[in-house]
Amino acid sequence: MSESPTGQVFDLGFSRYEGKREGRRRSTLAVYKDGLRTAMGLGRGGKAKILPWVFVSASMIPALIFALIAGAVDRVAPDFSEELDLPSHADYYAIAGIILFLFAAVVGPELFCPDRSNRTINLYLVRPLRPTNYAAARWASLVTIMTVVAWIPQLILLLGLTLGAPKPGTYLADHWTDIPRFLLAGIVIAVYVSTIASLAATFAKRRAYAAAFLVGLFILTAAVVGSVGAALSDDTTKWIALLSVGDVPLYVNDLIFGEQTSNAEEASPLPGVILVGWFLIVVVAAGALVLRRYRKLTL
């Protein structure tokens, strides 16, 4: 059906594309990059930026306070610093873990739910990547953001402790092993909260449901473990304590730092292999469920 040429304006900009097509790797990378932008509200309106940046700021506040205290105590009352039991890198995730968990509960669903509720997912399904590539890319973008959000406060704390020390050079020489430790512990907690949040987001229809479910899960399992544990012998309690969703990565954190922190202690008597093994089982099982759900998606 040919068109009659009646004073038409031609779109000279549109031409055939002869360049490279980079296939599945480019597709997956694009979904990952878009995940980072979506999570932080970049390229979106102001409203989309509020929550992520509030959480990023909130996660830094405890670190800033610790850093200031650590710095001040040594100067104002050097004698007290030993007695005060200042917060350390090991404690940080036990204290700020809930902020990371909340952040993942808000951002994770943002990465998975709207694509399904808007049915944008169908536009991905018909492109040269598998649905599992899509899910893995979204998960990876969440892990990346959570890792950065977990690391920055630790770096602030390190800065505070180092600059607050009478001899910063000596402090660093004595405590440099904290750096690989908090970097690794940051990855552990980021992977954990991201995977749990991805799982909830995969099955929830709406963002709010997923976020509410995650927060509920965190609080409820902790409460149940607390009350059941109080009624039972220590021997049983340490196993039941593994069910407290929020504490699982903290046990691994304690193993990494080689010291026991206060917030998650019920399961600590268990051997390290069990604690790490349980952490891996939860992460792998949740990840597998996410992939399984996406493998089954079709138009």
Partner 1 sequence: MDPASTSPTRRTHGDDTYDPPVETLLRADKLTKRYGSVIALDGVSFEIGGTITGLLGPNGAGKSTAIKLFLGLTEPTSGRAEVLGQSPTQDEQIRARLGYMPEHDCLPSAVNAAEFLKHMAEVSGLPPRHARVRAADTLRHVGLFEERYRPIGGYSTGMKQRVKLAQALVHDPVLVLLDEPTAGLDPSGREEMLALVRKTHSQFGISLVMSSHLMGDVERTCERILVLENGRVVQQGETATFTEDYETLYIEVTARRSELMAALAARQIDAREDGAAVVVEDVAGETYDHIRDALVEADAPLRRLAPRRRALTDLFRTDDESEKPA
Question: Please, what is the minimum distance in Å from the beta carbon of residue 224 to partner 1?
Answer: 37
Question: Please, what is the minimum distance in Å from the beta carbon of residue 288 to partner 1?
Answer: 21
Residue 51 amino acid letter: L
Among 6, 7, 15, 230, binds partner 1 (CB under 8 A): 15
The 88-117 contact track toward partner 1, x by CB under 8 A, reads --------------------------xx--
For residue 249, give the nearest of 46, 104, 41, 83 by alpha carbon. Answer: 104
Distances (CA, A) of 225 to 197, 216, 221: 21, 14, 6
- Token pair for 291: 């992939």
| 30 vs 217, beta carbon nearer partner 1 | 30
Most distant pair of Cα atoms in the chain: their distance = 92
User: What is the torsional sign of CA 68, 74, 77, 81?
Assistant: positive
Question: Please, what is the minimum distance in Å from the beta carbon of residue 45 to partner 1?
Answer: 6
Among 44-52, 60-68, 97-105, 148-156, the segment contacting partner 1 (CB under 8 A)? 44-52
Residue 138 amino acid letter: R
Please state the separation of Cα 214 from the chain's center in Å.
13
Among 39-47, 141-149, 182-190, 212-220, the segment contacting partner 1 (CB under 8 A)? 39-47
Residue 82 amino acid letter: E
| 29 vs 274, beta carbon nearer partner 1 | 29
- Token pair for 69: 């205290």
Among 28-36, 62-70, 90-98, 249-257, the segment contacting partner 1 (CB under 8 A)? 28-36
Question: Please, what is the minimum distance in Å from the beta carbon of residue 4 to partner 1?
Answer: 11
Contacts of 235 (CB under 8 A, 6+ apart): none
Among 16-24, 52-60, 71-79, 83-91, the segment contacting partner 1 (CB under 8 A)? 16-24
For residue 91, give the nearest of 59, 54, 68, 63 by alpha carbon. Answer: 63
Question: Please, what is the minimum distance in Å from the beta carbon of residue 223 to partner 1?
Answer: 36
Among 126, 173, 230, 273, binds partner 1 (CB under 8 A): 126
Among 51, 58, 69, 125, binds partner 1 (CB under 8 A): 125
Q: Does 31 bind partner 1 (CB under 8 A)?
A: yes
Among 20, 79, 83, 271, binds partner 1 (CB under 8 A): 20
For residue 182, give the nearest of 90, 255, 103 by alpha carbon. Answer: 90
Among 123, 223, 224, 288, binds partner 1 (CB under 8 A): 123
Residue 229 to residue 239: CA distance in whole angstroms: 9
At how many degrees (to 10) do helices 89-117 and 46-76 cross? 180
Among 7, 43, 169, 271, binds partner 1 (CB under 8 A): 43
Residue 59 to residue 155: CA distance in whole angstroms: 12
Residues near partner 1, by CB under 8 A: 1-3, 10-11, 13-17, 19-24, 26-27, 29-31, 33-34, 43-45, 48, 114-115, 118-120, 122-130, 298-299
